[in-house]
Structure 1
């Protein structure tokens, strides 16, 4: 690359939407900070960098932008692998010299499969990007102190995001963190302080840790003391975080959080049924005091968000409906922020168990793992289970019950909670009473033209995103085929056998180095320098 030219880097957080016209979720909380963290690897003055988030902004369709970068970095959650393949095909067709790197959970769970489509597969954390970037552009492009690039975030949102730790110290059977098996890793206070300094004055900062309160008690108290320092000085108006249920067993922790400016928490309740909790491996929730812990948090003036998870293999539909009805009749606690199906994510103990016992449906595609699509056989009649999932988008509580619960909640807590905490606590009531306000209904404006959802794996229409925006070479046709998880018998699909078959261990960054660097279509192996030099180029289509 000429020395006078700054490298161009585009980072996209991919999201699997059904329709091209989906509006995105700009007001949803929380948002991903992955693009900002990846951008923080680079020294700002040494590269031209742009970031995009399909979840927040809607599907990426700017072909000129996809033709722009020298390095395209793609990330996203499990169900977004198809979208990563789509954007890779566009970028490589528009600019054959581009290097396309991907990371995230699927880079760790399906490294061999991903290697068939992308130039670089980064199975580690954000910092894995630095050696690749230095190799491509030179070490001068790497920031000496990587951090979150908050200056690249869309302006105007009242909630900012930070990170105090990574991974989790618990092992829930359905969690991607369990599949990856990486140890809990708290950040040092200096890194957290630098993040808060960069944010300026925001009404609320949300920590996107898997467990903000994990690790030694002394480390947690130090984090709370730092937050109190910023709160008392007026630099931080409030903060929120994700914590596990054991945090609420210690009243002194709640008090320390309150005086440090905490607005509220999200915690994984998942179910009020101990049998379900044992099946999910949530030992931290088995004390039987879930309702008391929620009331304790709310009584201290902080909101409490949580979700419920329904596993059709082990729980009847009526059991879930009874649980939701009981919660709606209890205004001393918040309504659930979401109700979802249990997702047997690839590589998790739950996935392995469902695969062994033959509970997975035939024809599952990776994009079906969205929490709104039946993936398994059920205890109930299949149509009854399907109707439950369809109701999840419309709300399981109902307008009248949600509003009545909200009024009771207001009478109990209006004098104890500050404005932002109270509004946050009542947001699930609004979403249940008026489903069009909920994120699950963000593409309702497309319902007239979009095919009706079946809510059954393998039976959903692929949607318009799987139809290319532009003519592509025939070798890219497979980039628009969905990743299949199970075959026609419900067994593991042959495409994933190399990564997930019996006896195969997850690849490490070191073992990936031995995998040949090549472009699809049988072309000769290419060195990274060849990619940036533009060798083996083909004619780009006219935009």
Structure 2
């Protein structure tokens, strides 16, 4: 690439909104922070860096941005491959010399396909991004510190984000981390300190770790104390983290985090049905009773949050209905912060088992795997399950019960919570399940109105509007707008998918004397 006075780099978190909206989702927590960590590896004196997160900023529809970057870096969840592929066409059409890079779960799940579709298909972590920068530009364009560019992110509700570990020491069958089989590791104290320094003063901190607790008690205690020191210094008013079910087996863990300023924890309870948990290989949650965990946390001044998964291939409508009603009828338990259908994520043991068992529906698209629609044959008749799912995902018929529960739950624990936590207990479920207000740019709102109705079933859903190019493109880009099909008309895996999952050959980094294995970001 010919160098100019200052290079332009755009980092994109590609995203297909499961509710068919193109407008921003500004209040969703946690946010995707990988783009801001990636941005930290570019030398700001030589490179202009911009970030576009299609969750936080909404769909990227502004054609004026397409010819701006010299380098575009894509990241996102696995189901967003089609979206990243579409966006790459816009940039390549506007600037034929642009360099495209993709990484994260997409590239790790589809190494061969990504190697064909992008200039660099990276499978490692964000710390390896300097190798790509050195190859595309030169080593002078790599930041000396690598500190994340939190200055590029507008805080959501005053929250800053921190990562202290990578991956997870458990192997839940539905988790992409299990499929990637990467080792659970802790950040160094220096890395955590750099992040906290870059964050500056914020209202609160959300730790992004997949498992903050982990399998090394000394590391856990060190990280808690490190964050606690910053809390005591007044950098933030409190913090929260995601922990696995084994964390709660030792009450002193809760006490330690509470003493160090932790105000909230999230844990993936996932299901109240032990058989479902066994099928997910989620042994760490077998004893996770939301009522007991809520009480334990509240008595230590901490808010408890959790997620639930409905699996209609194993559960009946009555099973799911009864579980949710039991929570609504008990004000001591919070409503789940996340409610999703089981997602057979590509590359996971769950996906492979579902494919072998013939549970995947015919003509599935990768973009169907969003947790908001039925993609596996249910245990009960489809014509009964789909309408129930549609009501469940919209909380239809439960809005009044939702409001009552939110008020009663916040009131019940008011003596154990501060004002911030009481407000969180009240507002969080109303925001999550009360309905989304689709506000954004005129172009984004117009695009949302063009979307076909969501049917909550992959077999009847039509292609979303993004598959039609925003601007006229040459025929060579037509393939970029073809959806990646997962199953054929009989429900078997497609040849296209099998080829896409094949391992790609290593990419030699001739300019910097390094070898880049497929997939760095």
Q: For 1:19 and 1:86, locate their aligned partners in 2 and report how far apart those are by CA, in whole Å.
A: 19
Q: Determine if the alignment matches structure 1 residue 480 to structure 2 residue 474.
A: no
Aligned-partner Cα distance in 1 for 2:94–2:209: 37
Provide the alpha-carbon RMSD of the alignment.
Answer: 2.4
CA drift of 1:528 comes to: 9.1
Contact persistence 1:263–1:420 (CA under 8 A): no
CA distance 1:21–1:247, change in 2 (3 Å): closer
The farther-off stretch of 13-22 and 469-478 is 13-22
The answer to which of 17-26 and 473-482 deviates more is: 17-26
Per-residue CA shift, 1:480-501, capped at 9, x if unaligned? 111111111101111011244x
Aligned to 1:162: 162
1:455 aligned onto 2:469 = no
Q: Which residue of 1 aligns with 2:317?
A: 317
Distance across 2 between alignment mates of 1:364 and 1:102: 23
1:352 aligned counterpart, secondary structure = helix
Q: 8 Å contact 1:305–1:425 — kept in the other structure?
A: no
Change (3 A) 1:29 1:288: closer
Q: 191-200 vs 163-172, which deviates more? A: 191-200
In the TM superposition, what is the alpha-carbon distance from 1:54 to its structure 2 partner?
A: 0.6
Deviations 1:73-101 (A, max 9, x none): 11110111111011100111100001111
3-state SS of paired residue (2:340): strand
Q: 1:445 to 1:285 in 2, by over 3 A?
A: farther
Structure 2 residue matching 1:9: 3-state secondary structure:
strand
Once residues 394 and 246 of structure 1 are traced to their aligned partners in structure 2, the CA distance between those partners, rounded to angstroms, is 32
Deviations 1:115-164 (A, max 9, x none): 22111101111123211110111101112221211011126741111111
State the partner residue of 1:409.
409
Check whether the contact 2:174–2:343 (CA below 8 A) recurs between aligned residues: yes
Task: Give, in whole Å, the separation in 1 of the partners of 2:456 and 2:37.
Answer: 34
Unaligned segments of structure 2, at least 5 residues: 513-521
1:63 corresponding residue in structure 2? 63
- Which position in structure 1 is the counterpart of 2:223? 223
CA separation of 1:279/1:159 partners in 2, compared to 1, >3 Å: closer, same or farther? same
Residue 402 of structure 1 deviates from its aligned partner by: 1.9
Aligned 1:42-61 pairs, distance under 5 A: 42-61=42-61
Q: Which residue of 2 aligns with 1:399?
A: 399
Gaps of 5+ in 1: 518-526, 530-543
Q: 2:507 aligns with which of 513, 518, 529?
A: 513
Count the aligned residue pairs.
508
Label 1:284 to 1:444 Cα distance change in 2 as closer, same or farther (>3 A). Answer: farther
CA displacement, residues 242-289 of structure 1 (integer Å, 9 cap, x when unaligned): 111111221111111112111101110100111010011101011264
Change in 2 beyond 3 A, CA 1:2/1:410? closer
- Relative distance call for 1:438 and 1:330 in structure 2 (3 A) is farther
Higher relative contact order (CA 8 A, sep 6+): 2
Matches for 1:251-270 after TM superposition, within 5 Å = 251-270=251-270
User: Structure 1 residue 15: deviation in Å?
Assistant: 0.5
Aligned partners of 2:290 and 2:333 also within 8 Å = no
Q: Secondary structure at the match of 1:41?
A: coil
Partner of 2:368: 368
The change in CA–CA distance for 1:102 and 1:446 in structure 2 (over 3 A counts) is closer
* Gap change, CA 1:479 and 1:172, over 3 Å in 2: same
Match of 2:493 in 1: 492
